[in-house]
Structure 1
């Protein structure tokens, strides 16, 4: 199997390990691979030692010379990644501060050790209340209306939401249901708590 790499190591090292792995598997010397690809032996050595970055054309030549698809040269990056599967009706029910009876929040998935991961929640409102809690948080939030009708506030603005309607907003402004027009109400809320500025590279 292709050699694995530790997460976070440079892409160049991953490609170099894969090139060397397939070359040895084919019992080729660096000179043999150079002849097959039209690249210099020095270039082959630089790629395998991760001291040179490959252009797309170089990657294509290497893959062709090794008889593998270009994607095979990235295979050592394919480490196990976490996934969260939640069967229908089995999401954890949580109580948010300030909520009342008849307001249910069902968490649809969580990634352990990822405090800034997306937070998908199925919200069910089955009874009215005179006062609705307002929430504030970093990042953004997306709502998708599934059932019922409500007026949702975000800062000074109000939005009438019907099934099929959606709302995307910044979480720093106070937000929450302002009026429950038609019960029961069911909507999907996906919060991304990570501020946009921290995602810039």
Structure 2
């Protein structure tokens, strides 16, 4: 066997851990898609990628068609050849994640003390599978009612003023807030609007465990 033929034969041998299989899982499909996408974006032919990685063109074809399971060594070679981090080859593999989309004007209205007095608390979404997820709420105050509910809860809270002006209390402190102002505080202390200076008032409140 000539030296040239020996070198070609070596590149056709899968790295340790590479497995040919008839029915591979979704991970191989994701890797195949990412390798092909990055190769095309870099304007690299399959032959050039094979030359850069030391793999054969046939192996590159198998990887891009998701007909082989690549070892970590092979994945590192591919990442180096494409000049990308190896983690980029797994992008999109972990897709089973919960998310909540709330369109403008949507969101469930939660009933709290003061709700019937011109105070609206509209939940902007939640994650059911997370016990300690943040809780974003859009608060709208349209009436200078005598009822100003005070809240206490575990964790921290962040509020960001969108419209209007108000004096917001936390514990023994008072803060006058206008559009663009924000406040972060410990939720255990009694807190809530004290005086509504300029109506209507809208602010985003985000609670975190």
TM-score with structure 1 setting the length: 0.62
CA RMSD in angstroms, aligned pairs only: 3.5
Find the counterpart in structure 2 of residue 155 from structure 1. 171
Q: Deviations over 1:148-171 (max 9, x none)?
A: 110000111100001111111111
Larger Rg: 2
Q: Deviations over 1:120-178 (max 9, x none)?
A: 11101111222411101111111111111100001111000011111111111110001
Cα distance in 2 for partners of 1:170, 1:3 equals 46
Asked if 2 retains the 8 angstrom alpha-carbon contact of 1:125 and 1:184, the reply is yes
How far apart are residue 112 of structure 1 and its match?
A: 1.9
Answering whether residue 154 of structure 2 is matched by residue 138 of structure 1, we say yes
Asked if 2 retains the 8 angstrom alpha-carbon contact of 1:2 and 1:76, the reply is no
Answering whether residue 109 of structure 2 is matched by residue 109 of structure 1, we say no
- Of the three residues 97, 108, 125, the one matched with 2:141 is 125
How far apart are residue 118 of structure 1 and its match?
A: 1.2
Cα distance in 2 for partners of 1:64, 1:108 equals 43
Cα distance in 2 for partners of 1:188, 1:76 equals 31
CA separation of 1:98 and 1:147: change in aligned 2, threshold 3 A: closer
Cα distance in 1 for partners of 2:90, 2:24 equals 10
Asked if 1 retains the 8 angstrom alpha-carbon contact of 2:136 and 2:206, the reply is yes
CA separation of 1:145 and 1:75: change in aligned 2, threshold 3 A: closer
Find the counterpart in structure 2 of residue 71 from structure 1. 87
Q: Secondary structure at the match of 1:64?
A: helix
* Unaligned ranges ≥5, structure 1: 6-17, 23-34, 38-47, 195-201
- Of the three residues 71, 84, 87, the one matched with 2:100 is 84
* Unaligned ranges ≥5, structure 2: 1-22, 36-52, 56-70
Q: Secondary structure at the match of 1:63?
A: helix
Cα distance in 2 for partners of 1:101, 1:92 equals 18
How far apart are residue 97 of structure 1 and its match?
A: 3.9
Cα distance in 2 for partners of 1:2, 1:124 equals 52
Cα distance in 1 for partners of 2:92, 2:203 equals 40
| Alignment coverage as a number of residue pairs | 153
Q: Secondary structure at the match of 1:130?
A: coil
Asked if 2 retains the 8 angstrom alpha-carbon contact of 1:105 and 1:124, the reply is yes
